Amino acid sequence: MFQILSIIHKYFIKVGKMHTVITKISPNYIMNNFIVLLNILLLALILYYLIGKSNSIIENLAGCPSNKRNLIYANEANLNRLFSEINTLKVKVDELSPKVTKNSKSTKRNKTAIKGAVNNATKAMDDKEKEGDKIGTGTDPTPEEKKGLVAAGFF
């Protein structure tokens, strides 16, 4: 539609320039331009009618049997129900999206906390292994270790 209007505008610009030159030459000039304008508007109206007719979902049901009409209306009702279900699902998704982002943030935070706890446990385990290796090297135990071993019944 916009292209048709731009063509009409360009045409009138040309006509306006030519009008100053040809006014005395052609007395039917205005009538000819008016007829051309009416033809262009008629063509635009026909195109608008054709485009509007092809966009309709339910066609003219004058020649359609009644059982098929009922089927069309039943399908239309089914479509309306499905669209309403989609709208309710969209509302529920919008309600849940902040909770999902909150859970993902807390998951990241818990992941870093677990890594720290695992690192601490690994360090403690390495320290205990070093103590165990120190005991089994054959060096004399310290007096505190000797008391523990005597109490345990090793000496």
pLDDT of residue 61: 58
> What confidence tens digit (pLDDT) does each residue in 8-34 have?
666 666 555 555 544 455 557 778 888
Which range among 107-111, 115-119, 148-152 shows the weakest confidence by mean pLDDT?
Answer: 148-152
pTM: 0.33
Domain boundaries in the chain?
1-55, 70-125
Are 72 and 61 contacting, i.e. CB atoms less than 8 angstroms apart? Answer: yes
What's the pLDDT score for residue 84?
A: 94
Per-residue model confidence as pLDDT tens digits over 88-111: 999 999 999 999 999 999 999 999
pLDDT of residue 30: 76
Q: Quick one: pLDDT at residue 77?
A: 85
d(CA 152, CA 144): 13
**Mean pLDDT, rounded, for 51-77:** 67
